[in-house]
Structure 1
Amino acid sequence: MPDVKRKILWSVLVTGTALASLSAMPARADDPAGPPPAPPAAPAAAAPAAPSADLLARGEYIATAGDCVACHTAPGGKAFAGGLRITTPMSDVVSTNITPDPDHGIGKYTEEDFEKAVRHGIRRDGSRLYPAMPYVSYSGMTDDDVKAMYAWFMHGVKPVAVTPPVTELNFPANLRITMAVWNLVAGSVSPETGDSATYDKMRRGRYLANALEHCGTCHTPRNMMLSEEQDSYLAGAPLLGWYAPNITSSKTSGIGTWSEDNLVTYLKTGHVAGLSQAAGPMGEAVEHSTSHLTDDDLHALAAYILQVPAKEDEAEHSPRAQFGQALDVPDIRSGELTRIDKLDEMTGPHIYDANCAACHGGDGAGTSDHYAPSLFHNSVVGSAHPDDLIMTVLNGVDRTAGGLHAYMPGFDHGSDVQRLSNTEIAALVNYVTSTFGSGDHGVTPDQVEKMRKQLPKTP
């Protein structure tokens, strides 16, 4: 039996091999049947239609309103090529290249891939984005606006062949899967429906504030899990060394004394005489985003923000912009000159006169054209939080918006004009706030040093 089985098996193998060989042989030329006809070729897939000019224009406008360029462009780098270091409690997050370069950017992303990244924080490879990317806010974008933005990034942005450094956070944040848990805590919002361009004024303002401009990302305090505290919406929060102020309708802690036109002017130019001026992250938001919105959108955004329920800050007892007046004392340079050989003997008035008075005036009134703003009736100087004043002294201001340019040199260790120590900056800030603002806040050199470490970094 074994021999029979072996013979049968061998026969099957040989026969099968032979049949396979015969079936693989080409038909003879004289075979009347000839070779079987080849199946008809599948029609070539039609190339996707190029997006219309209107769709590209809408996509660019949405990307501008979303302020994508602010985080995805490093200082001195090419637009959207990434590389900006964003300081977080878990180390630095480095922004990615979102140009359409197929190897270094998002050129291989489908529209579905793009939507998952923008709305849900999920990359093309399935890994999770860190919430430095405001996808929780963007989750409220309409389908049409996501589609338009995708079209513009793929067809309207120049590809850049640059790969930024990889983000390396501390454990356990370096495990991107933990972001799935964070997303459950932070939540998301349902996408808006319909054509966002046709919304009524208040709905359009809410859409701009929450889904596109993501105002709450900076101006809303966060809990221990770093998700936004919605019951303190726009009530003010620390931000990379700066302080994003309370912008609720509170008349003492917020901007409840501002008119709609005041806020529109601020968002368009970054400056409103007698109220405030934008610097730091807000200066960038004005320059790259809000100053490019239409007047209708600016009024919609302002109207919505000004009706946000008031939230009070226990540290703020009077409107920030109502403090101070012009200094009515002799200029310290008009008296007998006193030689100071040791820098640590310089007081706040000496430091102010040497570094600030040339532009802001010995009396603090600024210039008549408001290029150098007044230091009294100034919400930055009048704030109970001196963070923004310290950071402005360190970082300076360089903002172009609404056809207006504002510049003030910084006085940090890399300054081209004057490098002030932590002790000098603390003395200067305390002098300015006590003379023109809400009082001496007792700023210390250690506070200045902590904020100095928050200055922008490049890879």
Structure 2
Amino acid sequence: MTYRVWFTTLLGCGLASVTGAVMAAEGQRGADPSQVERGAYLARAGDCVACHTAEGGKPFAGGLEIDSPFGTIVSTNITPDPEAGIGNYTREQFADALREGERADGANLYPAMPYPSYAKLSDEDIDALYAYFMQGVEPVAEQPAESDVSFPFNQRWGISLWNWLFADAEAFEPASGQSEQLARGAYLVQGLGHCGSCHTPRGLLFQEKALDDSDEAYLSGETLGGWWAPSLRGGGEGDAGLQGWSADDIVEYLATGRNDHDAVVGEMTSVVANSTSHLTNDDLQAIAAYLKSLPRQSRDDENRQSETTPAQTEQMLTAADVDGKPGARLYLDNCNACHFANGEGAAKVFPSLVGNELVNADDPTGLVHVILAGARLPSTPGKPEALAMPDFGWRLSDDEAAQLATFVRGAWGNHGDAVSAEQVAEVRETLPEDRETSAPDFEK
């Protein structure tokens, strides 16, 4: 799995005092069932299960290995087991971990845990989450392996300075004059949803350049682990990205992983499957309204002219006039059946390639990954069918995959730069070893 900056790293949870254990137990016995149920919903909104569950493992028991720029981080057990998990955390220790990045033993958590976002959580939501994790989650007595983080990043004391510079421990406050719906959307996006962890550019010390919409950098897009996390700013003039989506388009995408414009790929697949597809329609509408309220600044590459217009590309492909155009020929052979000559695909089934943000991203790694390894839509309550795009790494050489990606990034008015065979080879090296993605050698 690729590095995810919203990953919750409650590393090395130490045992609290006997008094703390008693307080935690009292909290478990006294929790209202409706409070536990509400906490379960909030845990969905925070997507806690995605990072704290290993493949094939028990929910929240940790053990998921994640490659980061600083080494391998292993997710921790956040079940209420008193030794392997957080069963001895008091409510205040639980709150400090979420809001301030402080472990029960007083040590700093790594800022890969999105506590700068969780700092915005209300006391009421902290209470509900605590009730859920202490009473609604099954204890698992499994201690995950230790993380292997390189020096000096394994020195937790240095994080205090990082927190002083970049962490904001202020609770969420609605903007002046903000409607109830917009305030709810802002609270979910900035807080539990921690959307900025992936979609906001990072600074020199890997801090989010903005934690809320007071800065236009907030949610303006970032590349993480080779996947482009596009701008979520859907307001202002223009039709780039979410600007061209309606609020209902955003709701449908978050609820099902697909809409008339696009289909989810990469890390966002897990977010939709485990989190946003389980939110209420009111909350999804609030998120959509908030994202549509954020003006988007036009980028230079969005105004760059493409070599071919949508009509010219469609005419060329329809006539199969691809002599001397290897990328176009490869598109006809491998992609045209689903994405069609107009590149628009089929709504809610095969995503459009026209103006697609993954296709036009500065870093083509995500597009190349999809070409080589394929993609699968998540099964969600609203759309249970898990439609899949097949992988083409087994049949395309590095040079062919590069030609195909280059064609798609320059066709139908798209404005992406050319892709090299070397870039494709780098992506192929990152794919799982058990996946057959090497092009066949027909000379054998």
Pairwise same-fold verdict (TM > 0.5): yes
Q: Residues 167, 452 of structure 1: CA spacing in aligned structure 2 closer, same or farther, 3 A cutoff?
A: farther
Q: Displacement, 1:442?
A: 1.2
**What corresponds to 1:290 in structure 2?**
276
* Structure 2 counterparts to residues 8-407 of structure 1, below 5 A: 49-192=29-172, 200-230=180-210, 231=215, 232-248=217-233, 249-250=235-236, 251=238, 253-273=240-260, 275-317=261-303, 324=310, 327-329=314-316, 347-361=326-340, 364-367=343-346, 370-376=348-354, 378-383=356-361, 385-398=363-376, 399-404=378-383, 405-407=385-387
Q: What secondary structure sits across from 1:204 in the alignment?
A: helix
Deviation at 1:112, TM superposition (A): 1.9
The answer on whether the counterparts of 1:87 and 1:454 sit within 8 Å (CA) in structure 2 is no
Are the equivalent residues in 2 in contact too, given 1:323–1:382 (CA < 8 A)?
no
The one-letter amino acid paired with 1:356 is C
Q: Distance in 1 between matches of 2:144 and 2:433?
A: 13
C-alpha contact (below 8 Å) 2:401/2:421 kept by paired residues: yes
Q: 1:188 to 1:245 in 2, by over 3 A?
A: same
Change (3 A) 1:457 1:364: same
CA contact (8 A) 1:269 1:286 kept: yes
Q: CA deviation at 1:278?
A: 1.5
Give the 3-state SS of the residue equivalent to 2:303 in structure 1: coil
Structure-2-length-normalised TM-score: 0.79
Q: 1:319 to 1:112 in 2, by over 3 A?
A: farther
Query: What is the alpha-carbon distance in structure 2 between the residues aligned to residue 318 and residue 400 of structure 1?
Result: 37
Unaligned stretches of 5+ residues in structure 1: 1-43, 339-344
SS of the equivalent of 2:242 reads coil
CA shift in 2, pair 1:192/1:319, >3 Å:
farther
* 8 Å Cα contact 1:323/1:377 also seen in 2: no
Corresponding residue number in structure 1 for 2:419: 443
Separation of aligned partners in 2, 1:171 and 1:419: 42
Gaps of 5+ in 2: 1-21, 435-444
The residue type equivalent to 2:180 in the other structure is: D
Q: Are residues 114 and 317 of structure 1, via their aligned partners in 2, closer, same or farther at CA, if it must alter by over 3 Å?
A: same
Separation in structure 1 between the aligned mates of residue 54 and residue 190 of structure 2, nearest angstrom: 25
Aligned residue for 1:212, secondary structure, equals coil
Deviations 1:146-182 (A, max 9, x none): 1111111111112233322211212110112121121
CA distance in 2, matches of 1:146, 1:302: 24
Structure number with bigger Rg: 1
Deviation at 1:74, TM superposition (A): 2.6
Structure 1 pair 352–412 and aligned structure 2 pair: CA distance change class (3 A): closer
1:428 and 2:404 are equivalent in the alignment: yes
Which shifted more, 172-181 or 207-216? 172-181
Aligned to 2:439: none
Tell me the SS of whatever aligns to 2:148: coil
| In 1, Cα distance between equivalents of 2:117 and 2:309 | 35
Letter of the 1:159 partner, please give it: P
Distance apart, 1:135 and its partner CA = 0.8
Residues 158 and 286 of structure 1: is their aligned pair in 2 closer, same or farther, counting only changes over 3 Å?
same
Could you tell which deviates more after superposition, 322-331 or 139-148? 322-331
Contact 2:310 2:342 in 1 (8 A): no
Deviation at 1:419, TM superposition (A): 5.8
With over 3 angstroms needed to count, the CA separation of the structure-2 counterparts of 1:454 and 1:60, relative to structure 1, is farther
Q: Report if the CA contact (8 A) 2:40-2:129 is conserved.
A: yes
Q: Which amino acid aligns with 1:277?
A: A
Q: Is the 8 A contact 1:252 1:318 kept in 2?
A: no
Per mean C-alpha deviation after superposition, the further-off stretch among 133-142 and 116-125 is 116-125
Contact 2:410 2:416 in 1 (8 A): yes
Distance 1:130 1:324 in 2: 47
- Structure 1 304/421 Cα, relative in aligned 2: closer, same or farther at 3 Å? same
Letter in 1 for 2:411: T
**Separation in structure 1 between the aligned mates of residue 153 and residue 433 of structure 2, nearest angstrom:** 21
One-letter identity of the residue aligned with 1:397: A
TM-score, normalized by length of structure 1? 0.76
Specify whether residues 284 and 457 from structure 1 end up closer, same or farther in structure 2 by C-alpha distance, changes over 3 A only: farther
Q: Write the distance in 1 (CA, Å) between the matches of 2:392 and 2:149.
A: 27
Residue identity in the other structure for 1:444: S
> Cα 1:355–1:108, aligned 2, differ >3 Å: closer, same or farther?
farther
For 1:450 and 1:136, locate their aligned partners in 2 and report how far apart those are by CA, in whole Å.
33
